[in-house]
C-alpha cells in the first residue's frame, strides 16, 4: 500500500539572522520541495513511499538523497552530470517574515523526463501524488507527469494532484488549462482557496470544491489555511476548522496536510477522519520552522488530538 510521488527537490539556504541578505553572515543548509515534503510526511506516518526525481551530481543532490533515505523515503534518482541541483534562498527581512529566491532555471530537477521514471514502482503503488509545480518546470517534466498518470490509471492507482500554483514559474493564463487537464485526469484534487478560484472562477470554498468535482475527480479538498479545509468525497461534504496553534512557520503546512490525508485514505478511513488527521498534520507543521522538519508521526498526532475534536459537519 505505497505512494509514489515525483517532482523537483531543491537545496535550501536559510538566513541565520533577520536582516538584509547581503549583510547576513551565514546561512543554514537544508532542502525542500513540495513532493519530497509530502513523501517525508507519509514516511513519518508509516506509509511506504518513493520519491522520483533528477538531482545534480553535486553536494546538494547527495544531501537531498541522504536526507530522504534517513527519513525512510525510498528515492528513485537519476543523477544529471550536466546540470546542478536547484537552490532556493530564504531571506528573513523582518521578524516572522520570509522571502524566497529561486535558482532553478535549467536545473537537474527541471530536466526530469519520462525515461527517468521507474514505472514498475508506479504500477505497484496505491497512490500516485503529483503537483502543478512539476507541470510548470519544463516540457519534459510535463511529459513525465503524463507518463506517470497514464501508468497509474492503467494499474488502477489513485491519482492525487495538488495544484500548488507557482506564479514565479508561469502565468495563470499558461497554467490554468494545464491544471484543469490534470484535475480532470486525477481522482483526488487538493487546491488552496486562491488556486481553486483560479481554476473555477468561484469565490466560495464549497462552490469551488463542487466546480472542481465537476471536472472529474471523485475527491476534492480545498485547503483554507487558518480557516481549515473543506472536502467532498463519497457524496459527502465535510468541513474541518483549523486547530488553534501558535503558528511559527506556515510553509509546508499544505504538504503535511496532504500527507495526513493520503495516509488516512490508504488506511481506509472515512472522509471526516482523513480531514481531521490532515488538519492536525497541517497545524503541527506550523508550530516549528522548516518546510518538512515539523511533520508529525502518529504519536505526535495522537498527543495533539487529545486536545479535542475539530470536525464539524
Q: Which residues bind ligand ATP (CB under 6 A)?
A: 192, 223-226, 228-229, 242-243, 245, 247, 250-255, 257, 279, 282-283, 286
Q: Which among 121, 226, 135 has a CA at the least distance from the CA of 176?
A: 135
Give, as one character, the DSSP assignment of residue 32. E
Distance CA 22, CA 144 (A): 38
Respond yes or no: is residue 255 known to be catalytic: yes
Residues 6+ away with beta carbon under 8 Å from 219: 187, 188, 189, 231, 232, 233, 271
Min. distance of Cβ 295 from ligand ATP in angstroms?
Answer: 11
The CA–CA distances, whole Å, from 26 to 14, 90, 285 equal 9, 12, 25
Spatial separation of the C-alpha atoms in residues 220 and 157, rounded to whole Å: 17
Give the count of alpha carbons within 13 A of 91, CB side only: 12
111/224 with CB nearer ligand ATP: 224
The string of DSSP letters for 191-204 reads EEHHHHHHHH---S
Three cell numbers, residue 264: 488516512
Radius of gyration of the chain (CA): 18
- Least Å distance between CB 45 and ligand ATP? 15
Nearer to ligand ATP, 48 or 225 (CB): 225
95, containing H or E segment: none
Q: Quick one: which of 9, 80, 3 has its CA closest to 292? A: 9
CB of 291 to ligand ATP, least distance (A): 8
Pick 216 or 225: Cβ nearer ligand ATP = 225
Cβ closer to ligand ATP: 3 or 253?
253
Residue 25 Cβ vs ligand ATP, minimum distance, rounded to whole Å: 28
Measured CA to CA, the distance from residue 127 to residue 243 in angstroms comes to 27
CB of 98 to ligand ATP, least distance (A): 11
| Burial of 207 from C-beta contacts in 10 A (0-12 / 13-18 / 19+) | middle
**From 116, 187, 255, 291, the catalytic residue:** 255
The total of other beta-carbon atoms located within 10 Å of residue 137's CB is 23
Q: Is the CB of 141 or the CB of 256 nearer to ligand ATP? A: 256
CB of 228 or CB of 296, closer to ligand ATP: 228
Least separation in angstroms between residue 90's CB and ligand ATP is: 13
Q: Which residues are identified as catalytic?
A: 255
Amino acid at each position: 500500500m505505497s505512494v509514489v510521488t515525483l517532482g523537483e527537490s531543491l537545496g535550501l539556504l536559510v538566513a541565520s539572522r533577520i536582516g538584509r541578505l547581503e549583510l547576513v553572515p551565514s546561512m543554514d543548509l537544508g532542502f525542500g520541495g513540495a513532493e519530497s515534503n509530502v513523501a517525508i510526511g507519509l514516511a513519518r506516518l508509516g506509509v511506504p513511499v518513493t520519491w522520483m526525481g533528477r538531482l545534480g551530481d553535486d553536494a546538494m543532490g547527495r544531501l537531498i538523497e541522504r536526507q530522504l533515505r534517513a527519513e525512510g523515503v525510498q528515492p528513485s534518482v537519476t543523477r544529471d552530470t550536466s546540470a546542478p541541483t536547484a537552490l532556493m534562498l530564504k531571506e528573513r527581512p523582518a521578524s516572522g517574515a520570509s522571502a524566497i529566491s529561486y535558482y532553478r532555471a535549467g536545473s537537474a530537477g527541471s530536466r526530469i523526463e519520462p525515461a527517468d521514471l521507474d514505472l514498475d514502482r508506479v504500477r505497484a503503488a496505491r497512490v500516485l501524488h503529483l503537483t502543478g509545480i512539476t507541470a510548470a518546470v519544463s516540457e519534459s517534466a510535463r511529459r513525465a507527469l503524463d507518463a506517470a498518470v497514464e501508468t497509474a490509471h492503467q494499474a488502477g492507482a489513485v491519482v492525487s494532484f495538488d495544484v500548488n500554483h507557482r506564479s514565479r514559474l508561469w502565468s495563470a493564463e499558461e497554467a490554468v488549462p494545464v491544471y484543469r487537464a490534470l484535475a480532470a485526469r486525477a481522482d483526488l484534487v487538493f487546491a488552496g482557496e486562491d488556486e481553486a478560484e483560479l481554476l473555477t472562477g468561484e469565490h466560495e470554498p464549497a462552490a469551488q470544491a463542487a466546480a472542481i468535482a465537476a471536472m472529474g475527480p471523485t475527491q476534492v479538498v480545498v485547503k483554507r489555511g487558518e480557516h481549515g479545509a473543506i472536502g467532498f468525497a463519497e457524496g459527502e461534504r465535510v468541513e474541518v476548522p483549523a486547530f488553534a496553534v501558535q503558528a511559527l512557520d506556515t510553509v509546508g503546512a499544505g504538504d503535511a496536510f496532504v500527507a495526513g490525508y493520503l495516509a488516512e485514505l490508504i488506511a481506509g478511513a472515512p472522509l471526516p477522519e482523513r480531514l481531521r488527521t490532515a488538519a492536525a498534520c497541517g497545524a503541527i507543521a506550523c508550530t516549528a520552522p522548516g518546510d518538512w522538519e515539523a511533520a508529525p508521526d502518529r504519536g505526535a498526532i495522537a498527543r495533539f488530538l487529545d486536545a479535542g475534536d475539530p470536525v464539524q459537519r
